[in-house]
Amino acid sequence: MDRFHILNIVAHVVAGTTALAIGLMMMGKAKGTPAHRRWGAIFCGVFGVVVATAIIGFLFFRTDIGLGSVTALVAYLLLSGRRALVLRGRRPDVFDIALSATALVVGAGLIVVVARGSGVMWKPAVVGPIAGALVFWGAIDMARLVTPSGWSARIWRLEHAVKLMSAVGGLASAGAGTLFPDAKPWSQVGPSIGFSLWIVVYLAVYGRRHLRPRPAP
């Protein structure tokens, strides 16, 4: 293992641990406050390091479809979740359309790979849902081209929250799978189920508040 590979792994682990800690802390704090925005900027910056080092690892050291798929999903959730703050209910622009189309293509390609059972070191029980999530989110975001603008203006806060919490869940699943390889796929599926339940609770408790019509600032 060369020095650059070791440095990349160390940067990935440190950034991943930091991003996970910040993400979990933010999930339990009030949303929309100045502190939330400051920590959110830090979280996205650190998470960007996680994604960048994962891409480097995938391209140069460990070309595994499972690793590539989870990297694609969390990167999409991070980018599109941040874009929700920029658009604030407006129609997606060219960048957003290209991003959604990429998620659809990558997700569909992963479904084909899983169906053929080739090139996947991770369990199909893990890679299959990742592929489905990419297709799901890509289709949902592409549909905003035709959905009523008033609806998009009401759900962008929920979109931002759900996508970023899902990204934290993906990070936790990947980390648990690395720490407990003998327990796969449950070490990966377990955190995903836990975060999914948390998101359901969040939507049940705060969804109605976010869906109240109010002008975007």
DSSP letter, residue 183: G
- How many CB atoms sit inside 10 A of residue 202's CB? 17
- How many CB atoms sit inside 10 A of residue 73's CB? 26
pLDDT in tens for each of the 217 residues of the chain? 688 989 999 999 999 999 999 999 998 888 888 999 999 999 999 999 999 999 999 888 877 777 888 899 999 999 999 999 999 888 999 999 999 999 999 999 988 887 776 555 556 777 888 999 999 999 999 998 988 877 888 889 899 999 999 999 999 998 888 888 888 878 888 888 999 999 998 888 877 776 665 554 4
Task: Check the CA dihedral 94-71-39-212 and report its sign.
Answer: positive
Report the predicted TM-score, pTM, of the whole model to 2 decimal places. Answer: 0.87
Residues 6+ apart with CB under 8 A from 174: 16, 70, 74, 188
